[in-house]
Amino acid sequence: RGSCQNILLSSAPPGPQFPFTGVDDRESWPSVFYNRTCQCTGNFMGFNCGSCKFGFGGPDCTERRLLVRRNIFDLSVPEKDKFLAYLTLAKHTTSPDYVIPTGTYSQMNNGSTPMFNDINVYDLFVWTHYYVSRDALLGGSEIWRD
C-alpha cells in the first residue's frame, strides 16, 4: 500500500515573506517532530497507508463513494440529532492514530525529550486548525502576525 521514506525538505531559501528563521516549529514541518513518513500508493492514505483516501472505500480502496457536505440548516431534526451524537462521540473518543506536542521543539531539547499527549478526535481537529493558523511566537513578547 506504500513505503516509508525519509522526509526531504526543500533547500530553497525562504522568500522575503518569511523574515524570521529558526524561531517557529512550523518552518520545517514535519521534520520538527519526525523524519520518516509513509508515501501511499493508489487510493490509500494515513500514517501507515491503512485507510482509504476521501471519496473511496472497500477492501482495496477502489470503490468510488460520493460524499456530499450538507448545510446544517438544511438537516431534519433526526439528522441534526445524529450529527450532534457523532460530535459528542468525537469529543469522547481518543484518536487511535495521532498525538499532539505539548511543548515546542526547543522545549523538547531539539527533539531528544519528546513531549506528546493523547487527544480526542474533536480536539485534534480543533488543534490542527489552531496550529497551522496561529501567530508565530518570536520569543519574549514579540509576535509575528503576518
DSSP assignment, residue 24?
-
Q: What is the pLDDT of residues 3-23, one digit of tens each?
A: 988 888 777 776 666 666 666
Answer whether 90's CB lies under 8 Å from 122's CB: yes
Higher pLDDT, 108 or 27: 108
Domain layout of the chain by residue ranges: 1-67, 70-136
- The reply to whether the predicted model has a pTM over 0.85 is no
Peptide bond into 30 cis (omega under 30): yes
Please give the average per-residue pLDDT across 106-110, as a whole number.
80
pLDDT band at 123 (very low <50, low <70, confident <90, very high): very high
Instruction: Write phi, then psi, for 133 (nearest 5 degrees).
Output: -110, 0
Residue 106, SS3? coil
Name the residue with cell 468525537.
90
Residues in the chain: 146
Answer whether 2's CB lies under 8 Å from 41's CB: yes
